Structure 1
Amino acid sequence: MAKRSRTARAEQQKAYTVEAEWTPADLALLKELKKAEAALPADAPRALLSVRLSVLTEDTTSPVRQELDLRREALNRGCRVVGVASDLNVSATKVPPWKRKQLGEWLNNRAPEFDVLLFWKLDRFIRRLSDLNTMIDWALKYGKNLISKHDSIDLTTVVGKIMVTLIGGIAEIEATNTSTRVASLWDYAKTQSAWLVGKPAFGYTTAEDENGNVVLVIEADAHKALHWCRRMARRGVSARRMVRLLKRAGLGSDGLTPATLLRQLRNPALMGYRVEEDKVGGVRRSKLILDKDGKPIRVAAAIFEDDDFHELQADLDKRSRNQPQRKPGGATKFLGVLICVDCTTNMTVQLNRVKDREYAYLRCQGCKAGGAGFPNPEGVYTKLVSDVLSVLGDEPVQVREYARGAEARAKVAQLEQSVAYYMTELEPGGRFTKTRFTREQAEATLDRLIAELGEIDPETTEDRWVNVANGKTFRQRWEDGGVEAMSADLLRVGIRCEITRTKIKGQRAPEVKMKLKIPKDYRERLIVKEDHFAGKL
């Protein structure tokens, strides 16, 4: 029986690279197009090309072809290409433009560098009407135009705005139909004993039988590891120790954790039944899928027979503790800011319950048993807030805003035109040379115009980001927003607090020392960047 990779298509996509697709003819054409672009005037509109592809098939247009077509289109429109945002293996339905790796960087941080966003076809750019409306609002706010090579889209006209909305609606309908078909396939597959789609549970892999059908088979190494874990559970061995021994024996990956191992051992799929994910209180579990008669659906040979599996669960239950569930938002404040100096992992709050009383301990994720637990997390939080306020509290809050240079450019053009007019008319034979009075008046006007032109900062004629103080300090900002606002700002700026715990003989609580680590460019990082896409899915 031949093994079959369940990620064959994914592997093909990973193997695909744009560089490998450029032929000598394509490279020659690219060179010609760039040479033609160089001949465009200095004030030619600047175009950003958006290239996207989810899956490369015979029916899709390759990224190379998209880029060359878009470069031709930009040249025909008199635009100079300033960049190519190429996002491959990205679904336009699932990932909006502002969240794509390359295009998102341009939209969020490099908007002043281009005037036109050019894409091959609207469905290559966007497939959800809500995303399209968001992009139209963004383009109008920042003075950009959206242009499609194969669609009649131009935001500079009312008809173009209507057209882009209509086309976007059609694209969303098509995407919704595709989503409905995929959901129907999954619903159907869940009821079948044959393996049609999906990722097998740990312990199984896919293969082809003698008829060419895809079936689930037991993976030898995983079978060995799972049965070894069952024997260890009988002896009361902890999941943490199991993970250590599995890694040492080469049967566990480097990323295996006790939580992951327990989730694998508690999966009913190990009995050969079909399961689905069930999230309860933020905890992921797998539950059986029952057929119309209320019986489990068998899809593979069992790694554990039913009795053996239930016996394993009972053994695991003996070591499990009745600890409080994590809060939905997490029990740890300043997560990602507080760092253990020994293992450089995040400090988190562990809640333990003993005789109906809850105790909170500040622990790390890398040291053995979480390191020396500090029983007063609130004290650490208070000290951190005090230290941060003493260093950064009086820093002014500056907000990055988008400044457009169109008005300044128009004023410069008008002044230059006026200066040219007066200089021409002051030449011999000009209208201002007929009398002394008209010459003196014209010369005075010319001097004033030249002075006004010189007072205009050249930077103001360009679209740019400017930092504007909003009249608040960070102390006031954090007083209004609370701990959540401070934590978010510290993470954004890259400020960390190293925690050193030293065990004191005869005392349960360790000595804790805190050291604030602040980047040298913290003032630049403190600038609050306006996010047009905040809250958008």
Structure 2
Amino acid sequence: MTPGLRYLACLRLSADSDGSTSIEWQRGVIRHHVSSPLLSGVLVGEAEDTDVSGSMSPFKRPKLGRWLTDRADEFDVIIAAKMDRLTRRSMHFNELLEWAQENGKFIVCVEEGFDLSTPQGKMMARMTAVFAEAEWDTIQARILNGVQSRLENHSWLTGAPPTGYRIKAVEAGKRKVLEIDQDFHPYVTEIFSRIEEGQSTHRIARDFNSRGVLTWSDHLRKLKGKATKGTQWQSTIINKFVRSPWIPGIYTYKGEVVLDNEGEPVILPERPLASMRQWEYLVDRIKPASRAGGTEVRTGARSLLAGIAHCGECGAPFSSLLNSGHKRKDGTRVPGHRYYRCSNKFKGGACVSGPYVRADVLDEWVDQAIRDSIGQWEMYERVDTGLSQARELQSARARLERLEADFLAGGYDGEGQEESYRRMHKSLSGKVALLAKQEERRANPALWATGKRYGEVWGAKDQEGRREFLRKYQVKLWAWNDAIPDAGTGMVMDMGDIQAMVQELNLSKEGGMGRLLVGHNVPAQWADPELREFITDDIPATLKGLEAT
């Protein structure tokens, strides 16, 4: 080869390479060759790609690709210590060789000793590339078979354990498995429980920091005998943990769920932190609440029933206010009370008899009504499986159809390509099956038993949490002045989605509150629509749309 040419060193190391092909070894081989007296070449740059597979096209590699597309005029020769450092695919090698010929470049592979300026050298290089590709396919098959067998017996592969788990050696150290970290598990169960109760992850993080609870990273440092860094809990840390597929034990690779032969996710730990159903429920609980356009954003919880209670006469929502109180004759001041009032009447609307009632009276009745009516019912939640996967499902089905069409057209008839087709077909088929199941569950959301009772969950909430509870289940309340003469404020509460779920599961028991409405100080037919078959008069317009269940 002509002396004094400009050389570009091509260095590559994949994640599974050993020391025999280290970057330093490649660099030493290249520099020794370029500086030999016969060449006296100039090394103008290095394209060093680490953690890059040999199956990737040279033009797509992060460093080498930029040299080939943007800086081709800066070098004359591409040099690599071994051909497989350039590529392990014969197709990619031929592509690179044609590019070199079109652009007046040379390719040197030191260990193989190729002179690609001659027809014989090009032929030998192509043959070697074919053998290198076959070797790569053999290596990949061996790796995949090993990984598959380890996944089938639920063995841990490599790396640090996911949050909440620890690695345990079994079978005399021949195999490693994941099991729950019992020292950290109490905090995991506390996170789950508090989220199920409706507490925000910000509040949980703040409480953990005040109690000095170690984060997972500091917990691992402590286990290794290292000094902790004092990392603080944040809501983003808890949200990321809750959304992790490792909670139900799902194994992922590069962000993709790994599926078994039946298209089901591979569950690695024998006992995961939570079931799939509970995990879906937890993820649903921490997602931001969607608000319709124009919906008021509430920043405080000064009143429990604002936006929930309505005027029984006209249906307008209640607003709340705090009066200024008054002074007694002896000069002592009586603090003011918060009141609910009909917003229609307050603004001078058509409602003339809308109620004006103390908030603590109405709030206390709602509290007692919930405890008495549904307090002992088992609490169920609808599991929302998240955003629609319809577009991704359509895309996966289209890719699968194209793959099958290419196979039928002979596109995978080459040596070793049929096995590649089988792997791709299995992966795509499993993905289609999984996405189809997710869409089916999303269209028909299941009910999940929380293991608690409504009264227990309601009693543990503060006022902000209780109002969110009422809004979430679409509970509504109407109030009247003297619905029954001289009886005081009358109230009817619609139990909303709670009652709908109970009826769906047919959980109503004899003697329990099995009706849609709960009433206080109102005629019986107002709170029991079934009685309207016999008593048809005197039903407020605001209640006529509520039919018997």
For this structure pair, what is the TM-score category when the shorter chain's length is used for normalisation?
0.3 to 0.5
TM-score of the superposed pair, with normalisation by structure 1: 0.42
Larger radius of gyration, structure 1 or 2?
A: 2
TM-score of the superposed pair, with normalisation by structure 2: 0.41
